[in-house]
Amino acid sequence: MKARPINVLARVYLGLVLAFLYVPILVMAAMSFNASQFYMLPIDWSFDWYVKLASNARLLEATRNSIVVALVTTAIASVLGTAASIAFFRYDFRFKKVLQAALFPPIAIPWLITGTAMLMFFFWSGIGRGLHAMILGHVALALPYVIIVVSARIKGFDPDLESAARSLGASPWQVVRHVTLPYLAPGFIAGALFAFAVSFDQFVISYFLSVPGVSTLPVEIYTAIKKGFTPEINAISTLVIAFSITLLVIVSRFYRFGGDR
């Protein structure tokens, strides 16, 4: 049914879209190797900015914070999210629909609104801002993703496997350990990686919840863009985006974006 010219056209089009998506990132990466502070062309290749980056205590501290927040967020969100997914799978109950719908707001409300609301509430209630507040916020954003991803995996689980194991004399713990968990593992890992990616890249919530001296990498990058930046920012951005993309390629091993194919 497909005439060749159409096919070629389709591929060219796809190539253009991919170029649109990736060229800016590549340009930014190229500029991080440009010695000129004002991004003058042609590029004067050098590693200066990466060397400078290695001694930029502020950015390194922010990187450390980003990783800590993302790790704690991942731990909390994947445990809480997996527990909730199991409940949704195992049981039918009156408020299930409502609870499932309640996962929507953190994703659907613009982050500007959730972020400023958290700022006001945390500041006013004495919870305060800082890394702990960011973790509170990031978990809320990551939870829906974890539940969606884990639920997608759990849906294919056959409960008969558990009863079969039990009828063969396995203790409840053994059932969980040898049957349920191994089955859930890929979903759990994908959910956890998702949570990590959501938290590591989160900017808006962190921005409103950061306090002087305690910020994450995206917040530092934004502050630098607004208050005066150097190509060190390109260098760190290049590293961050390379890291994110690697992480997501790994996620894709465990979770099929876009459902079954």
Partner 1 sequence: MKGHDCIRFLTLAVSMASMTGLAHADTIRVLNWQGYGTDEDWSLEKFEAATGNTVEHEYFNSEQEMLTKLRTNPGTYDVVLINSAYTQQAAEEGLIQPLDLTDFPHSEGLQARLAHNPNLQYDGKLYGIAWLWGVTSFAINTGAFDEKPDSLMELWNPAHAGRLGWRDDAVESCQFAALATGQDINDPSDYDVIRERLHALKPQIRTFWNSENEWNQYMSSGEFDLATYWSGSAARSKQNFGLPIEFVVPREGAIAWLDGLSIPTDAPHPEAAKQFIDWMIDPEFYVQWDTEVGAPISANEKAVEQLPEGAFNKQLIAQLKEVKSLPFMGPMSDETREKMLEVWQETKTFYQE
Partner 2 sequence: MAVSDTTTAPMNHRRPSNARSILALTGPAYLWLVVTVLLPLAAMFYFSFLSDVPLAARDWHATLANYAAFFQQDFYRTLMWRSLRLGFEVALWCFVIGFPCAYVLAKTIKGRWREALFLMVIIPFWSNALIRVFSWTMVLRGNGILERFLDWLIPGFGSLDLMFTYAAVVIGLVHSYLPYMILTCYISLSTIDDDLIDAARSMGASRLTVLRRIILPLSMPGIVAGAVLIFVPVIGSFMEPRILGGREGTFLGTVIEDQFTAVFNWPLGAALSFILLACVMIIFAIFQPILRRAS
Subset of residues 165 to 204 that bind partner 2, contact rule: CB under 8 A:
166, 172, 197, 200-201, 203-204
What is the DSSP secondary structure assignment for residue 192, as one 8-state letter? H
Subset of residues 156 to 195 that bind partner 1, contact rule: CB under 8 A:
none
Long-range contacts of 46-50, Cβ-Cβ distance < 8 Å, separation of 24 or more: 49/230, 49/231, 49/232, 49/234, 49/235, 50/235
213 binding partner (options partner 1, partner 2, none; Cβ < 5 to 8 Å by kind): partner 1
131 binding partner (options partner 2, partner 1, none; Cβ < 5 to 8 Å by kind): partner 1
Q: What backbone torsions phi and psi does residue 12 show, to the nearest 5 degrees?
A: -60, -45
Q: Does 130 bind partner 1 (CB under 8 A)?
A: yes
Q: Is the dihedral of CA 138, 144, 145, 151 positive or negative?
A: positive
Please, which residue, 32 or 251, has the CB nearer to partner 1?
A: 32
Output the smallest distance, CB 136 to partner 2, in A: 5
Q: How far apart are CA 112 and CA 124, in angstroms?
A: 18
Output the smallest distance, CB 106 to partner 2, in A: 6
Q: Does 38 bind partner 1 (CB under 8 A)?
A: yes
Distances (CA, A) of 234 to 110, 206, 237: 27, 20, 5
Subset of residues 91 to 150 that bind partner 2, contact rule: CB under 8 A:
91-93, 99, 102-103, 105-106, 108-114, 116-122, 124-125, 136-137, 139-140, 143, 147
